[in-house]
Structure 1
Amino acid sequence: MELGPHSRPAEPGRCVSGSPSAGSAFPASRVSAAGAEPGSRPTAVAAVLPAGGCGERMGVRTPKQFCRVLERPLISYTLQALERVCWIKDIVVAVTGENMEAMRNIIQRYGHKRISLAEAGATRHRSIFSGLKALAEDQPDCKLTKPEVVIIHDAVRPFVEEDVLLRVVMAAKEHGAAGAIRPLVSTVISPAADGCLDHALDRAKHRASEMPQAFLFDVIYEAYQQCSDYDLEFGTECLQLALKYCHTKAKLVEGPPELWKVTYKQDLYAAESLIKEKISQEICVVVKTKDEESVGHLLKEVLKNELNCATITSTALDHSGGDIQNFLTDQCCSFIWVTVLSSDFQETRKFLTALEESSLPLLYPVVVVLVHCLDFTLVPPAQKMESLMWIRGLAKEVKKRNVLLSGLLINYSQDEQKLQESLQQGASIIAALVKERSPALAGQLLVA
C-alpha cells in the first residue's frame, strides 16, 4: 500500500465544508440540512475507488480512468471531487500493479492529498475488497484508520457533488447501506434462448443503480469476507452483497443526472464539454486605472447579458499592480485584462507569471484575454495590432503551461451607439474564447 503526497492541495482555495476535525466528520448545519440529527453524524468516513479496469468497452488502449480530458487524466477529476469534501478522511484507490507508477505520478503531478494506493484485483469486486482490506484494522501493516462509514465510488464518475455523498453516507449510517439511483432511460427486456423477446420490465417500477454507494464499514467488509469466488468474479452490485451476506437492506437515494459513468469514447467528449461549462461559469475582469474602470464596467455589463448564467466579477489593481495573488482563486479560470490606449508588457508579464505559478493552469486550461480599448479614428487598428505582436510570442510561451492567451481590440468610440456595438461584438468573442478554451485560438489578435 502506498501513501500519496500531502505537500500541496489538489485544488487551490478552501475545502467545500471547512476543515475536518478529529471528532466530527460533518459540519452540523450541513447534516441538519440533509435531514439527520447533528449528534448522529459518523466520526470517520473513507472512500474506496476501484480503478483497475482496462476500458474494454471504450475501445482504446489506455484504461479509461487514465484517458486525458483537457490534458488531465479523468481519475484526477474524480479524486478532486472527493478531496474537496473535507469530511472524507482517506481515499483508497485500487489500481493494477502495472499502473501503480502511473497513479503515483498523477498524485504527485496534481498534488492530490489523502490518497492511498492498493493493488487492484482481476475483477471489480476483488479491487473493492483490496481497497477495504487497506482500511481494515485486522490487516498487517495497516497504515490507515478503519472508518465508521465507507463510500464506494467509480473512478470514472468525476461529477459527484458533496450533497449526494452526504445523503448516501447519512442513509448508510442509519440503514447500514445506501446507494444512489436514477430512473431508467430505456426499458429493460429479457431475451429468450432463441434470441426473441421473452418479457419486458415495467420501467416505472425499476431504477438504475449508480454510484456513490456507502456502507457501515463492518457491514460491507463482512460481506466481502463471506463472498464466494463466483460473486467476486462475476458480481457487480455491492448493495446486493450487503443484502445477501449481512441481511442489510440498502436505502436508495435519488441521485442527480451528473452521476453518469464515462464508459464509451463519446463519453470523454461529453465529460470535456461538462468540465468546460463548469469552469466557464466565472469570469474576472481586471482593470488597473480609474479610466479603465468605466470601460471594464461597461464590458462587464455586456458580458453579463452575453453569458447570462455566468458570474462576472471585476478587480481593480492599484498603480503598482497590487497583489495579483488576491484574485487568483479556485473559482475563476477566465480573466479579461482591460487596458485603455497603452499596453504595459511588463505588467502583463507579471500577471501571467503569477498565474503560471499558481496551481490553476495545472488543473484546468486558463483563458486570458488582453482587451485593448482605443478610438479607431485616432489609432488605426492595423497600427495598434503591429505594436501588439508581442502577444503572439508570449501566448506561445504560456501555452506550454496551459494558459491560453489572446488579444482583442475594441473600438472605444465617442459615439455611444458604435461603442455599444463594439462592446457587444467584443463580448461575443470573449464568450466564445471562454467557452471553447481552444489552444488553436491562443495567440490570435482579434478585432471587435
Structure 2
Amino acid sequence: MKIGENMHVTAIILAGGVGKRFGLDVPKQFVKLAGKPIISHTIDIFEKNSMIKEIIIVVNKEYYNYLNNLVKSGHDSNKIKIVVGGDTRQESSFNGLLACSKSTTHVLIHDAVRPFIDQEIIYECILKLEEYDAIDVCIDSSDTLVEINENNEIIKIPNRTSIKRGQTPQAFKFDVIFNAHKICQSKGIQNSTDDCNLVLQSNLCKIHVINGSNHNIKITNPIDISIAEKIFQIREKKSQLLSYDDLLHKLNNKVIVVVGGSSGIGKSICEIGNKLGSVTIPLSRSNGFDVRNPETIKFHLSKIYKKYERIDAVVICAAILHRNKFENFTDDEIRELIEINLTGNAYVAKYSIPYLKKTNGKLVFFASSSYYKGRGEYSTYSATKAGIVNLMQSLSEELEDKVSVLAINPQRTKTPLRTRNFGDEDIDTLLSADFVALSTLNSIAKEGNNGCIIDIRLSDEKKGSLKYNE
C-alpha cells in the first residue's frame, strides 16, 4: 500500500495576518520575494505535492479579492478554496477546518509566511499520520530561552536540551484537531497561537515531533525579507544517490550533451554516463565547439538532434579560472572569464532550451562555493559563478513544468583546471571528478530538483556508499 493511499489530505494555509509589525501597506504574506508574493511561493509547494488533495487559504476579508485574483492568475484555482479568517489565529484555523470538504481525513496547517517548507517534511508529516493522530514540526533551539514575570525579571531558565522551537506545518487527523478546537472553545480558550497546543489542552492524544529545517523560517519582521532573499540565493540540496539499478533504468538511452566534455568532470560524466546506458556527447574546443560563438552552438545542437531525434539533458561544464589581484588582471583575461564562464554558458542555455522543452529535459549548470561569497584573487571568476546561479534560478521559474534547471555545486575537485591553478594537492582533501560526475548523472535521473543547487561534499564521497565506475 502506498503512503497516504487511504487519506484525503487537505492543506490549510493561514494568511489572515495584517502585518502590523511589518510596517508596510500590505500584509507580509503579499510582500514580494524573489519576484512574486511570499504566499505564492508557499502555495506552489503544496500545489506540487501529489498527496495534497485540496488547499484551503484563510485570509483577512479586506484582502479576499486580492488573493482571489492572485490565485486565478498563477495557481490551480480548481484545487484551492479561499475563506475569510477570524479575529485570531485560532479562529482562522477553525474557519479553515470548517471549509474542508467532507472527504477530508487529515489536515496540514501551515503559516503562509513560511515559504521554504521542504517537500520531504510534508511527506514525513503524512507518513507519520499513519502512526500518530497529531504531528508537530520542530527544530533545536540554539539560544537559551528564559521565562520572565510582569516586572521583566527572569523566573525560570528551562534546560535547553529539552526545548525545541515549533514550526509548521502541523499535521492532524481531521476529527482530532476539529474536536480539540471545540473542546478548547468550551473551556474559554480563545487565543491560542498554536494548533498543537489545542490538542495538548484537550488531552486527546500524544503529539509526535519530527525534525524541521533551519531554512523554514517564518517571515515576521522586515529584516526577515533580507534573510529570505539570501536563503533563495544559497539554498542547497544535498545529492542523495540512487541505486545503480535505478540509474541504469532512468538513464538508459537518454541523450546527454556535455559541454566541456573533453576533460575533468565533463569527461567523467561522458565516460560514466555511457557505462550507465546513456548516449553522452562531449562538446569542446577539441571538436570545434566554442561557447562564445552562437553559430557553432546552434550547428552542433541541431546536428545532434537530427541524429538522435531528442536531447534529454544538456550539462554545461565549460569554465576557466585565472587567479590574480583584480588590478593586475589584463583586459583580455577579464573578458575571457566573462565570455566563457557566463556569456558562453548563457548562449548554450538559450539554444538548448527549444530541444529540452520537447523532452521535459534537464539543463544543468556548474556553480562554485565562491558564488555566494567573492574571494580575493577570484574576483571575476566569483562574479561569473554568482551570475550562473542567478541565471539558473531565473530560468527555473521561466521554464517550470517544461525544463528542469539546476546547478551542481561541488566542493574542491581534482581536475586539470584545479591542478593548473593550485599545483599538486593532498588528494584526500579533494573530491574526485568521477564522484562529482556520478552525482551530476544522479541529479539528471531524479525528479523534483528544478531550481535547486545540488551540493556535493567531500564527506559524501568519503562514506564510499556507492561507486558506479565499475
User: Identity across aligned pairs (percent)?
Assistant: 24
- How far 1:42 sits from its partner (Å)? 3.9
CA contact 1:46–1:89 (8 Å) conserved in 2: yes
Superposed displacement of residue 99, structure 1:
1.0
Cα pair distance change 1:268/1:91, threshold 3 Å: same
Q: What is the match of residue 61 of structure 2?
A: 97
Q: Choose the corresponding residue for 2:149, options 192, 199, 202.
A: 192
Identify if the C-alpha distance between structure 1 residues 301 and 63 changes in structure 2 by more than 3 Å, giving closer, same or farther: same
The one-letter code matched in structure 2 to 1:100 is Y
- 3-state DSSP of counterpart to 1:121: coil
| Distance in 2 of aligned mates of 1:281 and 1:177 | 29
Q: Give matches, 1:58-97, under 5 Å.
A: 58-97=22-61
Deviations 1:42-98 (A, max 9, x none): 421111111010122333332111110111111111111112210110110001122
Measured on the aligned residues, the alpha-carbon RMSD in Å equals 4.7
Query: Which of 105, 116, 127 does residue 148 from structure 1 map onto?
Result: 105
For 1:421, the equivalent position in structure 2 comes to none
Which SS does the other structure have where 2:215 is aligned? helix
Question: Which consecutive residues of structure 2, in runs of 5 or more, have no partner in the other structure?
Answer: 240-256, 269-278, 284-288, 303-315, 321-331, 337-342, 351-377, 394-470
1:430 aligns with one of 369, 384, 389: 384
Alignment check: 8 A CA contact 2:258 2:281 kept? no
SS of structure 1 residue aligned to 2:96:
helix
Q: Paired residues, what number?
A: 306
Instruction: Assess, with a 3 A threshold, how the Cα gap between structure 1 residues 74 and 112 changes in structure 2: closer, same or farther.
Output: farther
Distance 2:214 2:267 in 1: 29
Give structure 1 stretches of 5+ with no counterpart.
1-26, 32-39, 136-143, 283-292, 305-313, 319-337, 352-368, 374-379, 385-390, 399-423, 440-448
Mapped pair 1:275 → 2:232: yes
Query: In 2, Cα distance between the equivalents of 1:72 and 1:162?
Result: 20
User: Does residue 107 of the first structure (1) align with residue 61 of the second (2)?
Assistant: no
- Compute the displacement of 1:154 (Å): 0.9
Distance 2:236 2:159 in 1: 39
Matched, 1:47 2:25: no
Equivalence for 1:407: none
* 8 A Cα contact 2:19 2:28, kept in partner: yes
CA contact (8 A) 2:259 2:266 kept: no
CA distance in 2, matches of 1:434, 1:112: 31
Is the 1:339–1:372 Cα contact (8 Å) retained in structure 2? no
Shift of 1:126: 1.0
Q: Counterpart of 1:431 in structure 2: which amino acid?
A: K
User: For residues 157 and 92 of structure 1, do their structure 2 counterparts lie closer, same or farther at Cα, with a shift above 3 Å needed?
Assistant: same
Alignment partner for residue 260 of structure 1, among 183, 196, 217? 217
- Provide the residue aligned with 2:205 in structure 1: 248
Counterparts in 2 of 1:109 and 1:301: CA distance versus 1, 3 Å: farther
Aligned equivalent of 2:98: 133
Q: Which moved more, 1:243-252 or 1:149-158?
A: 243-252
Q: Deviations over 1:233-264 (max 9, x none)?
A: 42112112123235222112222322221222
TM-score norm. by structure 2 comes to 0.54
Contact 1:172/1:214, CA 8 A, preserved across alignment: yes
User: Are residue 177 (structure 1) and residue 131 (structure 2) matched?
Assistant: no
Is contact 1:179–1:253 with CA below 8 Å preserved after alignment? Answer: yes
Q: Which stretch shifts more, 171-180 or 225-234?
A: 225-234
The answer to which of 78-87 and 424-433 deviates more is 424-433
SS in 1 for 2:200: helix
Please tell me the residue identity of whatever aligns with 2:72.
Answer: Q
